[in-house]
Amino acid sequence: MAREKSSTQVIPDVATIPQHIAIIMDGNGRWARQRLLPRIAGHRKGSEAVRTLVESGLQCGIPYLTLFAFSSENWRRPADEVSLLMQLFMHMLEKEVQQLHEAGVRLRVIGDRSPLGNKLQVLIEEAERLTLANQALTLTLAVNYGGRWDILQAVNAWNKAHPTSAHPMTEADLQTHLCLGDLPEPDLFIRTGGEQRISNFLLWQLAYTEFYFTETLWPDFDRVALDQAIHSYQSRERRFGRTSEQCSALGS
């Protein structure tokens, strides 16, 4: 499998449309509370927003979408809410993967799967296998994922593969074992719901990503909201350590 190079080592190409968008989908609970509904109603509405996002991504020609579906810290939430979230995820895998497949979407799941249960793990594996060859868009769901976990598991994987190495690990070595090591780093990071933090999401991969924060709650994040985020991205100058004059001279 080909591995992408880090933006701290090589200056990546900059496209008008972001090639990889990573999103923290925040605000489901508040959306429900504003409507005097249970939190699960917000999560269900949020899953509809994911469908809209994928459709918009296909229309815009965005090759990669990575969504923070469930963090390693979300286990701290009430047990009934965690259970309902897992049921929603299972429902998506059972009912919607075929539609993703027909649309040419490749589905990937990153994170520690061991606590998810056998049935859910099997559904994930089946969905990934079914959609493996699809190329219209790669949809990555981060489930039981944490950025620190990702770096730590990459270090451990490299050490296991090179137990007697006399050479120190390089950035390229680590990149090889990161969950998204074979994808270009995100061009644009979006967080909905008004919070302005990355919450242990893709800590390594967001080194040179453009950040966009919006007050829009995730269930209300539609094509118009996505276009606004992309428009903000298009107004940025992505220098990757260079000066503005250097970028202008190179036409980037």
Range scoring the smallest mean pLDDT among 13-17, 201-205, 220-224, 232-236: 13-17
Annotated active-site positions, please? 26, 74
pLDDT surpassing 70 at residue 240: no
Structure tokens at 8: 């701290």
β-pair partners for 188: 21, 210
Close Cβ partners of 13 (under 8 Å, ≥ 6 residues apart)? none
Q: CA 109, CA 96: separation in Å to the nearest integer?
A: 15
pLDDT surpassing 80 at residue 227: yes
pLDDT digits (tens, 9 = 90+) for 9-61: 676 677 789 999 999 999 999 999 999 999 989 999 999 999 999 999 999 99
Percent with pLDDT over 90 in the chain: 79
Q: What is the identity of the amino acid at 171?
A: E
Predicted pLDDT at 226: 98
β-pair partners for 20: 64
Q: Is 108 helix (H, G, I), strand (E, B) or coil?
A: strand
Predicted pLDDT at 1: 45
End-to-end CA separation in angstroms for the chain: 29
